[in-house]
Amino acid sequence: MQPNKARADLWMDLGLVAFLVVFDVAARLLPHAPGVWPVAASALFAGRMLRIPALAVIVPLLATALSNFALANDDWRVALVVYAAITVPAFAGMLARRWHGAVPVVAAMLSCSLIFFAVTNFAVWAFNGMYPMTFEGLAQCYLAAVPFLDKTVMGDLFWTAVLFGGAWLVQHGPALARRAL
């Protein structure tokens, strides 16, 4: 790759990372339905779209860290699990690069939403002390979280559609506008 092209790619990627982080922080701090925030979708989008895919992991970590300064913090062990789980979509986006179309993106996002639900609620059960450390306590924890699952899944899919649809419009909008004339 030519040095100027590599430099331009880096700046384009850093610009997208900055945009996604600011977007995610604003979305987390503004009023929203519980569990409906775009961080997972942004991580998936970054993993799929960035020319330097390794930068994708920065998006959810930095957005979550910055917004957590203004939000109430969980137990540090739960927070650590949340940070790890929110990076999964970035890696899924990197893996989904080999397939084209909406189906791999939707499948990746659904998988990531379910992984996030399973892992973070397990951490709440294991570390928060709200539930007995029994199988029944674990079941109670997951049952208490079920009302948020559909919001998380629908929110992740909505924000995924917004980000990927917006990128498609940016890429194809001028050609569509020319055809319409």
Could you tell me what percent of the chain has a pLDDT over 90?
Answer: 63
Lowest-pLDDT range, 33-37, 121-125, 148-152?
A: 33-37
What is the C-alpha to C-alpha distance for residues 174 and 176, in angstroms, rounded to an integer?
5
Q: Which residues contact 156 (CB under 8 A, 6 or more apart)?
A: 40, 41, 109, 110, 112, 113
Confidence of residue 171 (pLDDT cuts 50, 70, 90): confident
pLDDT, residue 151, reads 93
Q: What integer pLDDT is reported at residue 35 of this predicted model?
A: 79
What is the pLDDT confidence band of residue 153, given thresholds at 50, 70 and 90? very high
Which pair of structure tokens corresponds to residue 172? 């194809």
- How much is the pTM? 0.88
